[in-house]
Copies of this chain bind each other. A is one copy, B any other.
Amino acid sequence: MSNTKLKVAIVGASGFTGSELARLLLNHPTVEISMITSESHVGKPFSDLHPQFFDRLDIPLASAEEVSKQSLDVIFLALPHGVSMDFVSKWKDSGAKIIDLSGDFRLSSKEVYEEWYQKKHTYPEGFESAVYGLPELFAEKIKSAKLIANPGCYPTASILSLAPLFAKKLIQEDSVVIDAKSGLTGAGIKANATTHFSNVNENFKAYGIAGHRHTIEIEEQLGSLAGSEAIVQFTPHLLPVDRGILVTAYAKVKGAMDQDSLTKIYREFYQDKPFVRLRNQAPGIKDVRGSHYCDVFPVWDQRTKRVIVISAIDNLLKGAASQAVHNMNLMFDLPESEGLTQIPLKP
């Protein structure tokens, strides 16, 4: 990339993903933020929506219509599910690479999407060109992709929990339970009963039991690793914290197992993956907050003959914005860690 900077646009400024992208890209040495869009706030300074950027990123918000008028290298779509697809269709030949943070191109086909999202898909051709942007699994494909389907937050933590075992075809069919817990930012910036402070604070509850749409994203990726269908029991819960996902994954394995073998399988699978840290004790979500890390801790329970894997990520970063930047780094042949070296903010 020599000494010119990548020109990037962030489409969708109002949400948490948009502001986290801006935070990372503003300090990324090879990036220049060319524009940020928000249809409902055109003309306002970005920092009006997110005052933490006061005096740092005060550029006026543009309409998405401006995107095609500029010469851009990357377009980040920080938009809701069902909205991204139209922009991808519109800008697919614009010359810019597109990283879509919504769920619109994460699944295998229009049919699967429409069943789980209960929404008509208007650009099914995208499923063929889109690459699932999980760098630990698909780095090579990502490097040459023009459209990235940036993974969901729960799927990122869930897939990284069990990928080493699925890749070795060691998982007993139908034995997988993924009990997941997420901070409130996963529910978005929109004010409603779910996000009201008094419904979240000092509270904890399950939701989407037996039907959350991230289930199929996890099943498709894990099944693909194993070369066979995967069935996963996935239950998300809402934590009274801003950020973080902790996944507790349970599975029965085929054949003999012990702690050393288990650790070895994970160590080999994640060697040379700079952002997966194989921990020697159970990680908490605060151990990764504000960083691009996924901390993983696999345990063998000899008494029950079950594997338990704990994984922790920051849902807004490894589960969204920093994963998108990681994908950009790969797509433009930049150092993999560029702009992603933040140490977790703890406490």
B-binding residues in A (CB < 8 A): 16, 19, 23, 26-27, 50-57, 174, 177, 179, 181, 184-185, 189, 191-193, 195-207, 209-210, 231, 233, 235, 237, 239-244, 246, 248, 250, 277, 279, 281-291, 295, 299, 301, 303-304, 306, 308, 310, 312, 341-347
Contacts and interface: CB of A to CB of B under 8 A. Distances in A.
B237 A202 contact: no
A36 to B, nearest CB: 14
A248 B235 contact: yes
A204 B233 contact: no
A158 B205 CA distance: 16
Contacts of A199: 197, 284, 286, 347
A286 B203 contact: yes
A205 B56 contact: no
Contact of A206 (B57, B282, B290, B304): B282
The 4 closest A-B pairs by CB, nearest first: A205-B284, A198-B347, A52-B344, A210-B301
Given A54-B295, A206-B248, A310-B206, A241 B345 contact: no
13 contacts: A51-B281, A52-B343, A54-B295, A177-B177, A191-B192, A195-B197, A197-B201, A197-B242, A201-B201, A201-B241, A202-B243, A233-B301, A237-B246
B209 A310 contact: yes
Nearest to A245: B204
B246 A205 contact: yes
How many copies of this chain does the complex contain?
4
Contacts of A53: 343
A284 to B, nearest CB: 4
A210 B308 contact: yes
A11 B202 CA distance: 28
Contacts of A195: 191, 196-198
A347 B242 contact: yes
Contacts of A50: 346
Given A16-B198, A52-B291, A205-B285, 15 more contacts: A27-B342, A57-B343, A174-B304, A184-B198, A195-B197, A197-B201, A202-B289, A203-B244, A204-B239, A204-B244, A205-B310, A206-B246, A209-B299, A209-B310, A239-B240
B237 A240 contact: no
A300 to B, nearest CB: 8
B248 A179 contact: yes
A347 B304 contact: no
Contact of A233 (B207, B279, B285, B304): B304
Contacts of A310: 205-206, 209
Nearest to A312: B205
Contact of A201 (B23, B242, B287, B303): B242
Given A192-B191, A248-B237, A52 B174 contact: no
Contacts of A19: 346
A26 B341 CA distance: 10
B185 A198 contact: yes
A196 B198 contact: no
